[in-house]
Amino acid sequence: MAVAAAFLFAGSATLCAATVSAAQAQLYADRINLDALSGQYSSTRFIVTYHEQSAERVQAASRQLDFQRVTSLTGASVRSVRTLATGAELVEVSGNTQRQTRQDDFARDVMVAFAQNPNVAYVEPDRVMHALFTPNDTYFANQWDLTDATGGMRMPAAWDLAGSAPGAGINVAVLDTGITTHSDLSGQIVGGYDFISDSAAARDGNGRDSNAADQGDWYAANECGAGYPASNSSWHGTHVTGTIVAAANNAKGIAGVAYGAKVVPVRVLGKCGGSVSDIVDAIVWASGGSVSGVPANTNPARVLNLSLGGGGACGSFQSAINTARSNGAIFVVAAGNENQNVSNSSPANCSNVVSVAATTKSGARASYSNYGSTIVVSAPGGDGSGGAGDILSTLNSGTTTPASENYAYYAGTSMATPHVAALAALVFQKNPSLTPDQVKNILTSTARPLPGACSGGCGAGIVDAQAALQAAGGGSSNTAPVANFSFTTSGLSANFTDSSSDSDGTIASRSWNFGDGGSSTATNPSHTYAAAGTYSVSLTVTDNGGASNTKTSSVTVSSGGGGSTVLQNGVAVTGLSAVKNGQLRFTMVVPAGATNLKFVTSGGSGDGDLYVKFGSAPTTSSYDCRSWNSGNSETCSI
């Protein structure tokens, strides 16, 4: 039988004279592990499982004949390393690989050659496994911003791509209130400078100096202007710094996004804030530029984090930003917390910046976050509740001057920004030759659409750390999938059909965003909208190699075809008409605590009746209120 089998396969030898295509390999997809072809592994060893009771399973001579067959098909030699406890065979393949252009091609050829034997149940590369790194920091479980599947930035998988010291060799300048001593930041700080020229605001008595320690930014009532209430020290810079570089896997506190990087603290905010002139100088200096009267920065930053802002046009900021950019630094800035268009907030409204909006754990734009067409990306910033829905980071317990270290939850675009700055540091580490514009493009092209609602514009979406590092050169040779879908509508309902494809693998997951806050992970979902209109619907597909692609289409639904029109309190709907025995449907969202709810119809000709039901559509036999007077004057009071 072994000889006959060898003869059967001999005629197919010419089929493998060239590299097997991905499409050809799919013919054997149920028996070979194509998912393992990532380009990260040296696929010269394979685990071959023969069917039980097959000659190859029980006879070494039969296995050797099969090895010779694979050699004749691939031109590479095959030898047995050992038989595993499961009965599978570990083999090593070497030799003629010149005709393959990629290691993946060679591995695919070998697996297909083995799979052409019907006695082979399964074959896969002998992959190298790694512990999936999750820090043991005390509060890591509270860092939803890094780990949550909906609202987080997918850090654990990104750390596996970043190496043992994510961000190593990259400096991030934090232009803020300075830094306080904190054990979770020990060894994470390098250099720094105090750029506050007003000694009263600086509270250190001597204006600009090399000490970037945060002296506290508290102030009394009316001290910063009429009507300003008193405020305790914020230790804002310490909180921002922790998000970027807090030590990881040290059995305490939190984990920073780029805990292998270093932060250069640049103090620009003191009592009552900071001046544009000081901040402009600090931007130039932080990026490695020269500032008169200030020693040269021996730790120039590739990333500048500005979790600060104010009203007005960009103005003087632009020149400093341009200098930083020419020095090779990327400028990441908070969009602002006024729930207004970012065009009114500087320096977020400047050119050549990465302006960052804030999102919540549900993946929606935070209610306070600024928005607009010039937002570049979004990142976790918290919901403003003051608790676990916000961002946990390093802090200080002092109400005025520094006291003991602690941790606390803060919210704001200030908290969202360091997530993006730290990710930019990881991208620079992965590929140091990238320009600021290229890093920006990676952040935007790999961001994922917000799972929740965003009115006004939230940029490319929530930054995705894993996808960004893969794009920066994480070692994956995976070809991204192509997202595509079609749809049909009926009234307010839409039915979606996924037609996405992946040339070198399979679609592993789908994420639909229906444009009204609704979402789904189904393959072919349906969705009913609350009101007629045009909605921007997006489908993001992720393949088995981790690459993603997004397709967006406009979907228009109307109140006809059995749908319903959403009523607004006190706003009459006019021009109604229907055929005999026809129905017009309406819905209304009633706020909690409302009283004296009343529905009224009037005018026109004919005879219409009114039916109302709470929580579901009424019928002529199921309702909470019915008014069926002669004519069209009907009233239902709830």
- Cβ(96)–Cβ(75) below 8 Å: yes
The one-character DSSP state at 462 is B
Domain with 576 in it = 566-638
Q: Are residues 341 and 490 in the same domain?
A: no
Catalytic residue among 105, 145, 176, 281: 176
In a domain? residue 480: no
CA torsion angle 423 427 428 429 (round to 10): 100
Strands (E), 230-383: 262-267, 303-306, 310-311, 330-334, 345-346, 354-359, 377-380
In a domain? residue 134: no
Query: Which among 500, 532, 557 is the end of a domain?
Result: 557
Q: Are residues 183 and 287 in the same domain?
A: yes
Query: Which among 435, 453, 473 is the end of a domain?
Result: 473
- Summarised one tens digit per residue, pLDDT across range 171-226 is 999 999 999 999 999 999 999 999 998 898 899 888 899 999 999 999 999 998 88
In a domain? residue 24: yes
Q: Are residues 494 and 350 in the same domain?
A: no
Cβ partners under 8 Å of residue 300, min gap 6: 171, 286, 287, 288, 327, 329
Q: Are residues 525 and 419 in the same domain?
A: no
Distance, in Å, from the CA atom of 197 to the CA atom of 199, rounded to the nearest integer, reads 6
- Provide the 3-class DSSP secondary structure of residue 417: helix
Q: Are residues 326 and 425 in the same domain?
A: yes
Question: What stretches of 211-294 show up as alpha helix (H) in DSSP?
Answer: 236-245, 276-286
The one-character DSSP state at 185 is G
In a domain? residue 81: yes
What single-letter amino acid sits at 567? L
Catalytic residue among 345, 414, 511, 538: 414
In a domain? residue 462: yes
Query: Which among 125, 154, 172 is the end of a domain?
Result: 125
Enclosing H/E stretch for 544: none
Q: Are residues 373 and 495 in the same domain?
A: no
In a domain? residue 479: no
> How much is the pLDDT for 475?
46
Q: Please give the full DSSP string across 562-576, using - where no structure is assigned.
A: T--EEP-TT------
Q: What CATH number should be reported for the domain holding residue 58?
A: 3.30.70
Q: Are residues 549 and 578 in the same domain?
A: no
Answer yes or no: 414 catalytic.
Answer: yes
Q: What CATH number should be reported for the domain holding residue 240?
A: 3.40.50.200
Cβ partners under 8 Å of residue 580, min gap 6: none
Catalytic residue among 182, 236, 239, 419: 236
What single-letter amino acid sits at 184? D
> How much is the pLDDT for 18?
44
What single-letter amino acid sits at 168? A
pTM as predicted = 0.60
For 115, what's the count of Cα atoms within 13 Å in the CB-facing half-sphere? 24
> How much is the pLDDT for 100?
44
Cβ partners under 8 Å of residue 533, min gap 6: 556, 557
- Residue ranges of the chain with per-residue pLDDT less than 50: 1-18, 39-41, 97-101, 130-135, 474-477, 561-562
Q: Are residues 101 and 240 in the same domain?
A: no
In a domain? residue 175: yes
Structural domain count, the chain: 4
Q: Are residues 371 and 241 in the same domain?
A: yes
Distance, in Å, from the CA atom of 555 to the CA atom of 516, rounded to the nearest integer, reads 11
> How much is the pLDDT for 492?
86
Distance, in Å, from the CA atom of 64 to the CA atom of 125, rounded to the nearest integer, reads 19
Largest Cα separation within the chain, whole Å, is: 97
The one-character DSSP state at 622 is S
Q: Are residues 170 and 258 in the same domain?
A: yes
Q: Are residues 94 and 174 in the same domain?
A: no
Q: What CATH number should be reported for the domain holding residue 541?
A: 2.60.40.10
Q: Are residues 243 and 327 in the same domain?
A: yes
Enclosing H/E stretch for 617: none
Cβ partners under 8 Å of residue 287, min gap 6: 173, 300, 301, 304, 323, 324, 327, 328, 329
Answer yes or no: 176 catalytic.
Answer: yes
In a domain? residue 108: yes
